[in-house]
Amino acid sequence: MIDSHAHIYTTEFDDDRDQVVERALSVGIEKILLPNIDLESIAPMLATEARYPDVCHSMMGLHPCYVNDNIEHDLAIIRQWFNQHTFIAVGEIGIDLYWDKTYQQQQEFAFRTQLQWAKELNLPVVIHTRDSIDQTLEILEQEQDGTLRGVFHCFGGSLAQAEVINQLGFHLGLGGVSTFKNGGMDKVIPHLDLDFVILETDSPYLAPTPHRGKRNEPLFMELVAQRVADLRDMSLSEISQITSKNTKLLFNL
């Protein structure tokens, strides 16, 4: 299995990061993909990748929750990093209208800018869409020139939205929300096109049932995979193989 989205470089893992990686490997997780958040997260992310070079692979991008009035300055620094290091994707980028809409215009500017980078660099994008799937789709429909590809991470939308996302050439990242009793994903997952599904944890956030509310870690991705397998009436190994193959193709691993 591959955990396609985990922030194991954050301070939540400073006391036991080695053990977290060992536990993941022990259940057959072979890769842990690391999305960037802001300027401060770059150093710990790259240090984590350097410590586990066969397991961890970094992305570079500016998360919408960290967009502010310094947007052009921050984007300029992040863009320079693509000239200094090899990254597997532009991410984590997108639009977040859940907490605060103050910087919605700046978020959209940052999102479009980073989509342009993805086209230039021929890299996939990892998209954050909290309370913003429809707005994000509108922008992607304008920007899609046939080369954009990527994943809507932490997907918790409707089947209709999933179908539009797939038609645009994008994958769906399924994580802890898929296991939540009232998350609604039990109605959606049975009908998804499995060619466009990848798995993730978003560690340390959104731990799956029965660990909900606790620190998430890549080890728990097995619970997500098992939930998807149960809803599809398939085996854990089948779901693991399909989603790992999709992830490797998407991120050119």
What is the C-alpha to C-alpha distance for residues 127 and 149, in angstroms, rounded to an integer?
Answer: 10
The residue written with tokens 């309370």 in the block is: 131
Domains of the chain, by residue range, sit at 2-251
> CATH assignment of 2-251?
3.20.20.140
**pLDDT of 152 above 80:** yes
Is 231 strand, coil or helix?
Answer: helix
- CB neighbours of residue 248 within 10 Å: 14
What is the C-alpha to C-alpha distance for residues 250 and 149, in angstroms, rounded to an integer?
Answer: 8
pLDDT tens readout for residues 95-114: 998 877 787 889 999 999 99
Task: Give the list of residues 6+ apart from residue 101 with CB closer than 8 angstroms, or none.
Answer: none
What does the pLDDT read at residue 224?
98
The fraction of the chain above a pLDDT of 70, given in percent, is 100
What is the C-alpha to C-alpha distance for residues 24 and 30, in angstroms, rounded to an integer?
Answer: 8
pLDDT tens readout for residues 51-65: 999 999 999 999 999
What does the pLDDT read at residue 185?
97
Predicted TM-score of the model (pTM): 0.97
**pLDDT of 127 above 90:** yes
